[in-house]
Amino acid sequence: MANLVVDLDDRSYPIYIDSGLLSDNSPITSHIKSKRVCIVTNDVVAPLYLAKLKTQLADFSVDEVVLPDGEAEKTLANFEKILSHMLAGAHGRDTTMIALGGGVIGDITGFAAACYQRGVPFIQVPTTLLSQVDSSVGGKTAVNHPLGKNMIGAFYQPQAVIIDTDSLATLPVREFNAGMAEVIKYGILGDGEFFTWLEQNKTHIKAGDKAVLATMIERCCQCKADIVASDETEAGVRALLNLGHTFGHAIEAEMGYGVWLHGEAVATGMVLASTLAETLNLLSPSDCRRIEALIAYFDLPIHAPETMDFEAFIKHMRRDKKNLAGKVRLIVPTAIGHSEIRDDISEDVLKQILS
């Protein structure tokens, strides 16, 4: 079992990666401080894994909230539903909340944990590739708003992240591919050797080779853990993890949450960021083509929706959380393995790319 650590002094926590952690020998009970547990999951994951998890928690008093599946459910209304359940059940500050599911469940559960009685402990048990390699690590929690994705939330770290790689076997192909967008992101933004490794192992990844997938997940988690440890609240280098996200969030908000999966939108966003960098002579054409090719290999979109023009993009990009002093800040790759934060890109250049 891989055991990584997100080093945040007294708020440090482990990331466990292994097969079978939802079935047996899970370290989850060692991170629960009292006998009360509330699991938050959704109606797709619950039939697959809720009973298994509850079996491991037989010595605890456990209840659950089961939400509908999908990005469209990451709302203030469902956030309130979780809090109402906690209140009705007389849960106290010593209750441990467990997020069992993908990125939506992890984000909304973490936000509820951050707010309930000003903070209760929670544990991430991610079941999708995207949540395993990215959203479960780092303490970003949030819900969406019709005017912007993840605009209402908090930085709130979990007690532990428990990744059962076997859960990928039940993941639909489209969801797996969407997770690969976040995997590829790590290679582009700061680890050129990893990007090359992905190119060399892409057939094994697509075939579901368990050893290769475990190596891939561990490498992504280590990269995320290192960045979070150096910049927990995104004051600097952590913003690089938003590569492709400014464009991607605009697509999600404009098209309607869930029409495009988050990873699909990020994939197109990374291609747009790469095309922008190439246009500005910041990225070589050959690197741009390699990025496009690896993204396309996993059947991810590389073109923006035909219904979105420059005005549709820019209205959302102007609201992006990274913006400072009214300037749109973008993450642009300057080589495979290196990216920069830029706030000097004119809207005329963006219009050229997005039109």
The torsion angle over the Cα atoms of residues 304, 306, 312 and 318, rounded to 10 degrees, is: 10
Determine which one of 73, 218, 234, 278 is catalytic: 234
Long-range pairs of 236-242 with CB within 8 A, sequence gap ≥ 24: 238/138, 239/322, 239/329, 239/331, 239/341, 240/189, 240/190, 240/331, 240/339, 240/341, 241/134, 241/185, 241/189, 242/322, 242/331
Query: Is position 315 annotated as part of the catalytic site?
Result: no
Output the pLDDT for position 319: 86
Alpha helices, H only, the chain? 51-56, 76-88, 103-115, 129-130, 173-190, 192-206, 210-230, 245-255, 262-279, 285-297, 310-317, 347-354
Query: Is position 306 annotated as part of the catalytic site?
Result: no
Asked if residue 241 lies in contact with residue 233, where contact means CB atoms within 8 angstroms, the answer is no
Q: Is residue 25's pLDDT more than 80? A: no
Query: Is position 210 annotated as part of the catalytic site?
Result: no
Tens of pLDDT, residue by residue over 236-292, are 899 999 999 999 999 999 999 999 999 999 999 999 999 999 999 999 999 999 999
Q: Is residue 325's pLDDT more than 90? A: no
Determine which one of 91, 140, 149, 342 is catalytic: 140
Output the pLDDT for position 306: 94
User: What's the whole-number mean pLDDT along residues 313-325?
Assistant: 84
Query: Is position 93 annotated as part of the catalytic site?
Result: no
User: What's the whole-number mean pLDDT along residues 34-60?
Assistant: 96
Provide the token pair at 353.
């790319």
Q: To the nearest whole number, what is the mean pLDDT of the chain?
A: 95
Determine which one of 71, 73, 182, 278 is catalytic: 182
Q: Is residue 97's pLDDT more than 90? A: yes
Tens of pLDDT, residue by residue over 114-137, are 999 999 999 999 999 999 999 999
User: What's the whole-number mean pLDDT along residues 109-114?
Assistant: 98
Query: Is position 42 annotated as part of the catalytic site?
Result: no
Output the pLDDT for position 182: 98
Output the pLDDT for position 8: 96
Query: Is position 264 annotated as part of the catalytic site?
Result: no
Determine which one of 224, 316, 321, 329 is catalytic: 224
Determine which one of 118, 281, 303, 306 is catalytic: 118
Q: Is residue 326's pLDDT more than 80? A: no
Q: Which domains does the chain have, with CATH numbers?
A: 2-170 (3.40.50.1970), 178-354 (1.20.1090.10)
User: What's the whole-number mean pLDDT along residues 154-173?
Assistant: 97
Please state whether 351 falls in left (phi above 0), alpha (psi between -120 and 50) or beta. alpha
> What is the band of 327 on the pLDDT scale with cuts at 50, 70, 90?
confident
Output the pLDDT for position 324: 74
Determine which one of 36, 91, 219, 238 is catalytic: 238
Tens of pLDDT, residue by residue over 31-40, are 998 999 999 9
Please state whether 20 falls in left (phi above 0), alpha (psi between -120 and 50) or beta. left
> What is the band of 322 on the pLDDT scale with cuts at 50, 70, 90?
confident
Determine which one of 91, 149, 185, 245 is catalytic: 245
Full 3-state SS string of 267-291: HHHHHHHHHHHHHCCCCCHHHHHHH
Rounded to whole angstroms, the Cα distance separating 265 from 260 reads 6
Judged by average pLDDT, the poorest of 100-109, 110-119, 309-318 is: 309-318
Rounded to whole angstroms, the Cα distance separating 257 from 68 reads 14
Query: Is position 224 annotated as part of the catalytic site?
Result: yes
User: What's the whole-number mean pLDDT along residues 192-211?
Assistant: 97
User: What's the whole-number mean pLDDT along residues 52-79?
Assistant: 97
Query: Is position 81 annotated as part of the catalytic site?
Result: no
89 SS3 class:
coil
Query: Is position 140 annotated as part of the catalytic site?
Result: yes
Query: Is position 150 annotated as part of the catalytic site?
Result: no
Output the pLDDT for position 24: 78
Judged by average pLDDT, the poorest of 23-32, 72-81, 294-303 is: 23-32
